[in-house]
Structures are given as C-alpha cells and as structure tokens.
A and B are shown apart, each in its own frame.
Chain A
Amino acid sequence: MTSLSGTDNAQSSLWEKLTGSRFLLKLSFGILILGAWEIGVRNFAAPFVARPLKVVEALPSVLSDIAYWSATWSTLWSVIIGLAIAMVFGTLIGLLMGRVKTADRMLDFYVNGFYAMPMIAALPLLTVWFGYSEEARLATVVFAALFSVIINVSDGARSVPREYLEVATAYRANRRSVWFDITLMSALPYLIAGVRLAAGRALVGAVLAEIFASIEGQGMYILANARGLQQNEAVVGVLMLAAFGLTFDACMNGVLRKWFPWYRRDGGKGS
C-alpha cells in the first residue's frame, strides 16, 4: 500500500481527473476573463479602448511591421547588455562584500540605499547626464539591475560553507582559486536568482526610460500607439513585454532547477 503522503497524492490526482485536466481549467478561466473584457469594453467603454477580438485583428499587421521588430529588438538588446554589465560588476562587488567585512560595512549602506531607491527617480538625472539617448536607457537598465545582483551575490558569498574554505586553506589553495573556484562557484545559484529578479526590474527600467525620454523601443511603441488611439496595436506591445518577462523568468528557473537543484531560498530579496 502507499504511504500516508502517497494516499494524499493519489486522492488529489483522482479529484483532478474528476474536475477535468488542469489545462482545460486554465483555458476556460482564460476564456472567461477575455470574454468579460470583450463584453465589458464593448458595452461600457469608449470605442478606442482595446479589446481582445480587435487585438487579434491587429496582430498580423503589427507582427509584419519591420519598425515594430526593430523597436522590440532595440529594447531587448539594451536589457541584455545592461544585465550583462550589471552581472559582471554586481558579481565583483557582491563577492567583495560577502567575503571582506570592511568592504561590507563600507558599501552596505549605499547598496541598500540604492536598492530601495525607486529607479524611476534616477531617470531625470540619467537623462541629463547621458542625453535623451539609448545610453540613458542602458544606464537606467544597469542601475535597475545592479543592486539586486550585488545583494544576492553577497548573500551567496557570505553563506559559503566554512568547511570549503578550511579545506582550501589546508591544501594551500592560492587566493585566486579561493575567490573564483570556491566562493564564486558556491555563490553562483544566488547570482542566477539575483539576475532573475534583476531582469524584471531591468525590463521595467527600459520601458520607463523609453517613455520618459522618447527612445525608440517597445515602451515608446506602446506610448505612441496608445496616444494615437490605436490601443489594440499597443496591447500587442504589452503582450510582447509580458512574454519577455515570463520567458526570462522561466529560463532562469530552469537553469536553477537543472544545475542547482539543491538551491532553495524562499522569497528572498524581492524586486
């Protein structure tokens, strides 16, 4: 016979079969939501307001538009580059803060302060420094992403098991391999979790920068279309952004699960 927890699972899967598959359930809820949106907007809102059927209608024309793809690529590219920069510097600073007490005390105040600072507040300053240009967007992305990487990596470096370091010392490992082969390697899953949080913030940063400084990209595309009363086209842009967010999240989760199955850390530093 199955164990106690086993019967529990068996029961719930039976119940699942009775209520139909999860997929069908999700699908029907989705249809319900979209239906409510469609009917609600059709009856109670101004004609320009986006609704699902019109969005589907707008889909082919938007997706075959080269300008749309160049805007998408522009946003995506700056997020990727910005994340890469934030990863490199965030890892270095994070390792330093995790392992060197003085560095931690000197920088902790600033890292936490910048982390708590709403990134959009930095936008006016960044646009003055970098101009109303793509560099300003890149700077916003780096700024939005950097501090969650630092915080996570320093947590990771702090929680390197003591034994690892002791063994390394006992075998007279050199400094470089203590830092990179041991500390960095055991902080790696924290780094990935940090990047996962950072990616969400980076995407928001990129969109806000585009809207604020009128930089070509997905955010600007949405703004221009929503202003021009072409909300259905703009919704396609929002869906694209949501897809980016979800894809990235899923990728990072997959990496964590595949290569670092022992990594468990609930909630943590949120974005």
Chain B
Amino acid sequence: MLFAWMLLIVFLALIACMFEDLESDTGSQSNPNSQVQLAPQVGQVNRFFNKAISGEAPSYAMYCTIAGVVAYVLLSKDVNPLLAIPIGALVGEAIHVIFSVTAHVGRTAAQKRFEQPIYLDVLYGHLLPIMTHGFMATLCITAIAYIQSNIGSLSGMPALNHPFALPMLGFIWGITVGAIGSSTGDIHYGAEREFQDRPFGEGKRVVYHGKITRYADCGVRTQKDIVYFCAKYGGPVTGLTFGVIILFENWRSLVGMMLSGYLPGVQATAGSMTAIIGIGVGLVIGIALIVGNVVIVKWARKRYGPFVGE
C-alpha cells in the first residue's frame, strides 16, 4: 500500500513538473523571457506574452504555499480532501493570474519608448492557458503535499507521516518544481524555439540575442505556438526530471526500510540501518548518473563532431 501511494506521488510529480514547464512557456516566465524583454530594444516588436513575475522557483513556491494553506485550513474544518485541494489550487491560481496581468502590462508599458504596443488580444488570450496549466501544476503539488503529510495514515502506519505540515511541503515542492522547470525546461524554449530561424546545432551567439523568431508556421507567433512545440519534448523531459527525482528519493527510502527490517510494523531499532541503506543506494544512483552524463557527452562529441561554420 505504501508503495502504491509512492508511485501515485511519482506520477503526480511527473504531471506537475510537465505542466509547470508548459505554463512557463505559455507565459514566458523564466530565463528565456530576457530575450522577449530585449526584443523591442533591438527593434523587434513582437506579440509574445512578457510575464516574468519572478524566478519560477519563488513564484511557484508562493502559489503552492497559498494553495497548501487554503487546503490545510479547509481540511482542518473537516472538508473532504477531494474538494479542499482543488479549491486551494484555484485560490493559488487566482493570485497567479493577477500577477500575470500586472507583470505583462507593466513590463510592456515600460517598453513604450521602443514602440512595443500592448496587444489586448494577446493579454486576454493567454490568461486562461496560463491559469489552466498553472492550476494543473499547483493541484498536483498540493495533492503530493497532502499525500506525503498523511502517507502513514493512508497506508495504515501513522508513524510514517511526514513531520512537516502540508503548507511547508507545498513550499518545498513548489521551490523544487520551479527550480527544475526553470533549469531543464527553459532550454527547449530558449535555445531552440525562440531562435528557430537560426542555425540548428550551435549555441545561440550573443549577436542573435533579442532577435527572436517572430513569425509562426502561419501568421505572427504568440506563446500558444511555443507551448504546442515545447509540449513535444521540453515539457515531458522536464516532467520526467521531477518524477525521476521523487521516484529515486522515495524508492531508496523504501528499499532501506524493507532491507533493514524497519517495515512492517515500524521497528524503531532499525531506524539507523534504514538511513544507512538509503544513503548507500542514493550514492550508487548518483554515480550511475555521472556515468550516464559521461556517455551522453561522449556520444554527442562523436555524433556532432567539432564546430564547423563561421
């Protein structure tokens, strides 16, 4: 039963991080937004949604904590979790949309001197996708926090409940999901989709900066064309990152608990052994990751070869 709940957490983590990354593409939230911001200054007036409220990690920590606090309060009033968690996520997203409007309008208004207009259809048309993508991410994170803070009670071993309160877990996973979405997912949007008319297979040179691809397959490009592209590779890989992290984290703890005899029955004497096995398994996985990176780098060097071109 414990294992089943852990797998559910992993699945929710995968969904959460994927939607978090796609939301950051829909709203142009994170690092690649520096180019959207720069574009009008180099004469590239565009129809991108310019929303950089803050770094993804602090902003998602905020939405998830708000969602967690609202859910926590509702749960303490004996509201069913199936109702309390979505209501919490909805409140978090209401704040998200308010910040999206102020961030986009404020930033674009500041670019008046570069003749960048505020397109109202861009503003209205993107708020709903931002909210829905963000809602999925916040909902999944709040659900993860709820399950983890009650995992012992849910699986019949109350001693295994996580010591942190639900809002704190929402905060922790909000920070982590934002950090991963920002560090992994941004690459597909920033290095590829934002500069799609530049040569593929090379780093984007400093002279290209600000000169983003403004035209889509049909018509003028907005964020909606970007999210459809990034959902094919960048989003799922980002989701996989968070899913794999949660999987390894939980799996090594569970392996430690099983091998040391901590479970079933929660034998307190086996606690230290559980931790030692968990640490050992974690170190082995980490070394495997280093080897994986060596293999990928070697493959890329061989397959792509030295830089050719100007």
**Do they bind each other?**
no
Interface of B toward A, CB cutoff 8 Å = none
Interface of A toward B, CB cutoff 8 Å = none
